[in-house]
Amino acid sequence: MADPVYAITNSGLALLESRGHILLTLSSTTKTIISQKEVLHMLEINSIRLALKKAGILEEWKPELEVISENLVNYGSTGKDYDAIVTVNNNGRRTRFALEYERTAKSGSRYKEISQSILCDVTIDLVLYLAPSHEMLSLLAQEFRTLGDKAVFGFSKQFKFQLLQTPVLTVGDRPEFRKFTEILDHLPEANDSLLTTYSVPFRP
């Protein structure tokens, strides 16, 4: 039997807003909370989150809506609107990476725009791109080859089972598959919380 899928209604959002839980990207007055074409994408993202949580290695998870909301407040200074920003316990070290699940292909010009936004993002050291097929992984590795060590690529189904032990493809000077945990070992430890303190400029 499949696990149940839950959805929030506009009334539910209104209740959260009345208690101070507000996102700039989603409100109780929003006409369409989620489009039909996004359902499969979001279900896969959530299954990845649950796999990390069940394994006991998930420290923090910031979903896309929070990332977008934060970028709006920071005037886009934090870079791309990632599917999630994830902090995990990697052999006793808290390490952070951005997560992207690419279910369908985009245009070459769009990938160039995304590459530029990732390269300009100083808040994220690594982006993990997960793909559902060999064809999609090959496309991503080709389109994002200019990202060098800032991005690695793996299979979403494999990641849900092997998690940090998943082999991921690097696209640096010598492309190769390496365990994701080995890539994380080279990242700085994430000691700060994902909660951001915003500073609002005062204009008299």
Statement to judge: residues 121 and 167 lie in one domain: yes
Residue that is written with structure tokens 């208690």 in the block: 19
Sign (positive/negative) of CA torsion 64, 68, 74, 78? positive
Residue 202: inside a domain: no
Statement to judge: residues 43 and 29 lie in one domain: no
3-class state of residue 145 by DSSP: helix
CA distances for 54 relative to 73, 106, 179, 181, 182, angstroms: 32, 32, 20, 18, 21
Statement to judge: residues 158 and 96 lie in one domain: yes
Q: What is the pLDDT of residue 122?
A: 85
- The whole-angstrom separation of Cα 33 and Cα 26 is 7
How many domains would you assign to the chain? Answer: 2
Statement to judge: residues 92 and 24 lie in one domain: no
Residues with Cβ < 8 Å from 87, sequence gap 6 or more? 58, 59, 60, 61, 94, 95, 96, 190, 194
Statement to judge: residues 5 and 57 lie in one domain: no
Statement to judge: residues 3 and 82 lie in one domain: no
CA proximity to 66, closest of 198, 199, 202, 192: 198
* Residue 118, CB-side half-sphere exposure with 13 Å CA sphere: 26
Range of the domain at 23: 1-33
Statement to judge: residues 104 and 150 lie in one domain: yes
DSSP state of 19: T
Alpha helices in the chain (DSSP H): 10-18, 39-54, 64-73, 108-120, 134-143, 156-162, 180-184
Statement to judge: residues 136 and 112 lie in one domain: yes
Q: What is the pLDDT of residue 195?
A: 44
Statement to judge: residues 74 and 169 lie in one domain: yes
Statement to judge: residues 7 and 62 lie in one domain: no
Residue 198: inside a domain: no
pLDDT beneath 70, residues of the chain? 1-14, 16-17, 20-37, 71-78, 192-204
Q: What is the pLDDT of residue 185?
A: 95
Q: What are phi and psi of 191, to 5 degrees?
A: -95, -25
Statement to judge: residues 122 and 29 lie in one domain: no
